[in-house]
């Protein structure tokens, strides 16, 4: 067999015999041997920029990634509930948020976008910028919208959320839907289908004013607590659905002013949306994220790595305690698979 040379500038996935344990520790020997691939991202909120180190390996049926990057703070204080001096409850939000643009009390996130079947025009040269529409409807969404240029152009979004995800990366997709305040507030960003699980806001419930046999969210107070949270800080910033304990009005009233309860209840996602398994650790100013999925998920909303001789383009973004104002790379990257 002739020697194989990787294309210049490629992220190379090396073949391995066994899958890594996706725990954010990355102590398998093959991670040390895997090739480093570094992406510079900048332009995040407050001037945030960093170098993202990516490694990749693959087995006979799955592909795995290791991502590390510097982040001075672990952001988990994602607008929790805080008991006020007058006895009411209020979510601690960014007072400067003018519409889905929280840059104060949020979480750390990471996102990959992969064209599905190479359908996004000009992605190989412009990357994610082909779908960025900054400045649209600035009175409603200060940061703009994301959607592809035309019908049939689809992207696979892998959207890791440090607070809202549990043992998974959120599997989403991008299409050509333009912003509509009533029907498409997220424009082209959508989530893959799911059967159950995921995350939800921690709201109490109350009788539906229109139908007393039903309940609706009561957005004036939290609905659940957990024995695993610190009521003085709100750490770790979420409530596991498996541990949630319903709160009564009397229990909420008895809590002292300053009590903090997380605003998110979460569980693992079941279904297409939950096909990317992951584990992560923040330590000493550094995120370490391990994740992986099947080479072929058989989903119309996913990029499929079925041709191991092909190049797969992608773009990456880092959100440092920011809802939308992410740091990005200036040009796309691409993944190749080293032959066995």
Per-residue model confidence (pLDDT) at position 1: 63
**Residue 77 corresponds to which tokens in the numbers above?**
């204080």
Per-residue model confidence (pLDDT) at position 142: 86
The segments of the chain whose pLDDT lies below 50 read: none
Give the separation between CA 127 and CA 120, rounded to whole angstroms: 9
Per-residue model confidence (pLDDT) at position 238: 98
pTM (2 d.p.): 0.96
Grouping H, G, I as helix, E, B as strand and the rest as coil, residue 20 is coil
Q: Are strands 62-70 and 50-58 parallel, antiparallel or unpaired?
A: antiparallel
φ, ψ of residue 29 in degrees (nearest 5): -60, -35
Per-residue model confidence (pLDDT) at position 254: 98
- Residue given tokens 């190479």 in the structure block: 118
Per-residue model confidence (pLDDT) at position 17: 97
Give the separation between CA 322 and CA 319, rounded to whole angstroms: 5
DSSP secondary structure code for residue 99 in this structure: S
């Amino acid at each position: 067999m002739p020697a194989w040379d990787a294309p210049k500038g490629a992220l190379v996935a090396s073949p391995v015999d066994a899958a890594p344990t996706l725990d954010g520790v990355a102590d398998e020997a093959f991670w040390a041997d895997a090739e480093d691939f570094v992406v510079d991202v900048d332009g995040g909120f407050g001037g945030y920029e960093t170098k993202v180190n990516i490694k990749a390996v693959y087995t006979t049926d799955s592909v795995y990634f290791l991502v590390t990057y510097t982040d001075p703070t672990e952001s988990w204080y994602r607008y929790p509930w805080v008991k006020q001096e007058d006895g009411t409850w209020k979510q601690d939000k960014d007072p400067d948020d003018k519409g889905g643009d929280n840059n104060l009390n949020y979480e750390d996130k990471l996102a990959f976008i992969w064209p599905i079947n190479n359908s996004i025009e000009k992605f190989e040269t412009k990357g994610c910028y082909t779908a960025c529409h900054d400045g649209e409807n600035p009175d409603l969404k200060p940061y703009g919208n994301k959607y592809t240029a035309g019908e049939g152009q689809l992207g696979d979004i892998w959207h890791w959320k440090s607070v809202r995800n549990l043992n998974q990366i959120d599997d989403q997709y991008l299409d050509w839907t333009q912003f509509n305040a009533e029907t498409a507030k997220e424009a082209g960003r959508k989530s893959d289908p799911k059967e159950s699980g995921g995350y939800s806001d921690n709201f109490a419930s109350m009788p539906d004013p229109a139908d007393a046999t039903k309940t609706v969210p009561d957005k004036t107070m939290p609905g659940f607590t957990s024995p695993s949270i610190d009521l003085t800080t709100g750490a770790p910033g979420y409530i596991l659905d498996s541990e949630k304990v319903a709160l009564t009005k009397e229990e909420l009233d008895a809590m002292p002013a300053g009590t903090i309860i997380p605003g998110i209840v979460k569980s693992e996602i079941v279904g297409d949306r939950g096909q990317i398994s992951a584990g992560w650790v923040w330590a000493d100013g550094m995120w370490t994220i391990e994740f992986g999925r099947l080479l072929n998920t058989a989903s119309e909303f996913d990029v499929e790595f079925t041709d191991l001789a092909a190049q797969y383009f992608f773009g990456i973004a880092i959100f440092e305690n920011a809802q939308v104002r992410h740091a990005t790379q200036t040009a796309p990257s691409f993944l190749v698979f080293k032959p066995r």
